[in-house]
Structure 1
Amino acid sequence: MGRAEIKRFRRDAEEVAAFLRPRLDGKIRVKVISHTDADGIASAAIMARCLYAYNIPFTVKLGRPPSEEDIGQLGAESHDLYIFLDQGSGQMDVINKHLLARGKEVVIIDHHPGPLIDHPRLSFLNPHTCGLSGSIDVSASGATFSVVEQLDLRFRSLLGLAIVGAIGDRQESPFGFTGVNDTLLKRSVDLGLVRESEGLKLTRRSLVPVVECLRTSVRPYLIGLSGNPSSCRSLVDSLEISHSRLISELGSDAEKKLAEAIVYKVGAQASREEFRNTLWGTILTATTDDLVGPKELGEYAALIDACGNMRNPEIGFALATGDGNYQRDALGLLGAYQEQMLRAMEWLVDKLASFKLASNFRYIYAGNDIDSAILGEMISLAIESALIPVEQPVVGMADTVDGFVKVSARATPALVAAGVNLGQAISRAAAAVGGYGGGHDVSAAARIPRNRLEDFVAELDRAMTGWGR
Structure 2
Amino acid sequence: MVLKGLSEACERILGLDKSSSVLCVSHDDADGLTAGAIIYRALLREGLTPHLRCIKRLDLEFIQGVSAEEWSIFIFSDTGSGQLENFDKHILEDRQVIILDHHETTDYTHPNLTHVNPHLNGVDGAREVSGAGVSYLFARELNPDNRNLAHLALIGALGDVQDSQGGFSGHNKEIARDAVDAGLVLIEKDLRFFGRQTRPLYKAIEYTTEPFIPSLSGNESACVQFLSDLDIPAKKNDRPTRLIDLTDDEKKKLTTALILKMIEHKIDVKTAESIVGDTYTILSEKEGTILRDAKEYTSLLNACGRYEKYGVGVGICLGDRGDALDSAMSLLEEHKRYISSCYEWINKNLDSLVDAGEVYSIHAHGELSDTVVGTVASMIVNSQILNPVKPVIAFADSDDEVKVSGRATKELVDKGVNLGHAMLYAAEKTGSEGGGHDIAAGAQVPHGREDEFVKHINEKVREQLHGSG
Shift of residue 83 of structure 1? 0.6
**8 Å contact kept, 1:31–1:83:** yes
The farther-off stretch of 136-145 and 287-296 is: 287-296
1:84-99 alignment, distance < 5 Å: 84-99=76-91
Q: CA separation in 1, counterparts of 2:222 and 2:412? A: 36
Equivalent residue, structure 2, for 1:3: none
User: 1:152–1:403: structure 2 CA closer, same or farther, 3 Å change rule?
Assistant: closer
User: 1:385–1:120: structure 2 CA closer, same or farther, 3 Å change rule?
Assistant: same
> Which of 309, 312, 317 is equivalent to 2:314?
317
Equivalent residue, structure 2, for 1:415: 412
Matching of residue 376 in structure 1 with residue 374 in structure 2: yes
Shift of residue 383 of structure 1? 3.0
**8 Å contact kept, 2:166–2:274:** no
1:277-292 alignment, distance < 5 Å: 279-288=275-284
Shift of residue 216 of structure 1? 5.1
Shift of residue 20 of structure 1? 1.4
Matching of residue 439 in structure 1 with residue 436 in structure 2: yes
Structure 2 stretches lacking a partner, 5+ long:
none
Matching of residue 12 in structure 1 with residue 17 in structure 2: no
Q: CA separation in 1, counterparts of 2:384 and 2:62? A: 39
Matching of residue 463 in structure 1 with residue 449 in structure 2: no
**8 Å contact kept, 1:136–1:171:** yes
Q: CA separation in 2, counterparts of 1:299 and 1:30? A: 31
Shift of residue 219 of structure 1? 5.3
Equivalent residue, structure 1, for 2:242: 246
Aligned residues: 459
> Which of 331, 334, 338 is equivalent to 2:332?
334
Shift of residue 249 of structure 1? 2.5
User: 1:139–1:81: structure 2 CA closer, same or farther, 3 Å change rule?
Assistant: same
Matching of residue 174 in structure 1 with residue 171 in structure 2: no
User: 1:393–1:186: structure 2 CA closer, same or farther, 3 Å change rule?
Assistant: same
Over residues 128-179 of structure 1, what are the superposed CA-to-partner deviations in whole Å (9 max), with x where a residue is unaligned? 1111111112111111111111121111011111111111111123252222
Percent identity over paired residues: 30
Q: CA separation in 2, counterparts of 1:344 and 1:290? A: 31
Matching of residue 139 in structure 1 with residue 130 in structure 2: yes
User: 1:348–1:220: structure 2 CA closer, same or farther, 3 Å change rule?
Assistant: farther
Superposition TM-score, scaled by structure 2 size: 0.90
Q: CA separation in 1, counterparts of 2:149 and 2:80? A: 23
Q: CA separation in 1, counterparts of 2:385 and 2:343? A: 10
Q: CA separation in 2, counterparts of 1:143 and 1:204? A: 27
Root-mean-square deviation (Å): 2.6
Amino acid at match of 2:381: I
Equivalent residue, structure 1, for 2:97: 106
More helix by share: 1
Amino acid at match of 1:94: N
Over residues 3-25 of structure 1, what are the superposed CA-to-partner deviations in whole Å (9 max), with x where a residue is unaligned? xxx23x1x5322211221122x4
User: 1:380–1:240: structure 2 CA closer, same or farther, 3 Å change rule?
Assistant: closer
1:346-361 alignment, distance < 5 Å: 346-361=344-359
Q: CA separation in 2, counterparts of 1:322 and 1:335? A: 21
User: 1:290–1:166: structure 2 CA closer, same or farther, 3 Å change rule?
Assistant: farther
**8 Å contact kept, 1:383–1:389:** no
User: 1:387–1:339: structure 2 CA closer, same or farther, 3 Å change rule?
Assistant: farther
The farther-off stretch of 148-157 and 38-47 is: 148-157
Over residues 297-351 of structure 1, what are the superposed CA-to-partner deviations in whole Å (9 max), with x where a residue is unaligned? 1221222122112322221111011111222222222222122111101221333
**8 Å contact kept, 2:209–2:382:** no
Equivalent residue, structure 2, for 1:209: 200
Q: CA separation in 1, counterparts of 2:14 and 2:326? A: 36
Q: CA separation in 1, counterparts of 2:369 and 2:27? A: 19
Q: CA separation in 2, counterparts of 1:188 and 1:163? A: 8
**8 Å contact kept, 2:410–2:439:** yes
**8 Å contact kept, 1:195–1:285:** yes
The farther-off stretch of 355-364 and 184-193 is: 184-193
Structure 1 stretches lacking a partner, 5+ long:
1-5
